[in-house]
Amino acid sequence: MAGADARILGIHHVTAIASDPQANIDFYTKFMGLRLVKKTVNFDDPGTYHLYYGDSQGRPGTILTFFPWPGVRRGRHGNGQVTVTSFAIPREAIGAWVEKLSKADIDFTGPTMRFGEEVLAFADPDGLKLELIASIDHPGDAIHSFHSATIMEEGYERTARLLRETMGFHLVGQEGNRFRFAVEDWGPAQVVDVLCSPDTARGIVSAGTVHHIAWRTPDAGQQLRWRDTLIGLDYDVSPVMDRNYFESIYFREPGGVLFEIATDPPGFTVDEPLESLGRSLKLPPQYEAIRSRIEKALPPVFTG
């Protein structure tokens, strides 16, 4: 590991590809009940939105983000991808979500049992696979945070070794070809399932698929120690990249999934107050000089 003082705290965020930005906003805010906590652009492609959804405060461990590319074709779920993003809901909320999905005419399966918890599975308008897992004791029906993510691999051993021996995860369960790993106390957003699927084709990243998964580290110092550790293990690791709301490093795990290690700070209130998160288009400093050009290139969206 990177040392006793360097920790992975769980999932920081998951980033996926969408097609129509307005349909994406409507589904995740109006149906899923998440808050749009940041409306910005893809820092590497400023003609594309980068939309962040999360809880009311935009806490790490609740953030699902999208690059919406209008008209882009559907991707293919398969090996070398995060194939399912799972949210934690209160244990007593499963019936309410069954009713909500049914009324919205959204196809779903379940509830089924997995590791002793009830699971509802469905997809967003682009086909991104989602789950609601009844796993927390909390009043109400709302999504609490991530529960976990599922990684699909041709073989799981090398990925499992990275998770266990380097990143501090522990194998906490197995059901068939699904291996469950967790950090800390196996709480919300601290779980990843590795699904060994040797007969499945590799995935193709496009609309309805996950681009990358980011893991939480508390600060920039620990992030640098992670970078040194990974380079020492012969991983190709990006330089530290400033994403305004966190700093990031990227590398591909042995099965091909793009991993990011992201810092918790500074958070989403660095450029707008908590009460107005997500209301206006926020740009990194390098793009402010061409704001008018960017705003003309982006399709108009209504955030309600």
pLDDT tens sequence across 117-173: 999 999 999 999 999 999 999 889 999 999 999 999 999 999 999 999 999 999 999
Does a structural domain hold residue 302?
A: no
Burial environment of residue 42 by CB neighbours within 10 A (0 to 12, 13 to 18, 19 or more): middle
Does a structural domain hold residue 208?
A: yes
Does a structural domain hold residue 142?
A: yes
Tokens representing residue 158 in the block: 């090398």
Q: Which of 55-59, 182-186, 215-219 has the lowest mean pLDDT?
A: 182-186
- pLDDT higher than threshold 80 for residue 5: no
Does a structural domain hold residue 247?
A: yes
Overall domain count for the chain: 1
pLDDT, averaged across the chain:
95
Local structure of 275: helix, strand or coil: helix
Does a structural domain hold residue 5?
A: no
Does a structural domain hold residue 304?
A: no
- pLDDT higher than threshold 80 for residue 185: no
pLDDT tens by residue, 198-222:
999 999 999 999 999 999 999 999 9
Helix (H) or strand (E) holding 83: strand 81-90
Q: What is the reported pLDDT for 66?
A: 98
Does a structural domain hold residue 3?
A: no
pLDDT band at 182 (very low <50, low <70, confident <90, very high): very high
Contact 207, 73 (CB under 8 A): yes
Cα–Cα–Cα angle for 209, 213, 218, nearest 5°?
160
DSSP letter, residue 73:
P
Does a structural domain hold residue 104?
A: yes
Mean pLDDT in residue range 168-194: 94
- pLDDT higher than threshold 70 for residue 1: no
Q: What is the CATH number of the domain that holds 63?
A: 3.10.180.10
Instruction: Give the residue numbers spanning the domain of 232.
Output: 11-297
- pLDDT higher than threshold 80 for residue 4: no
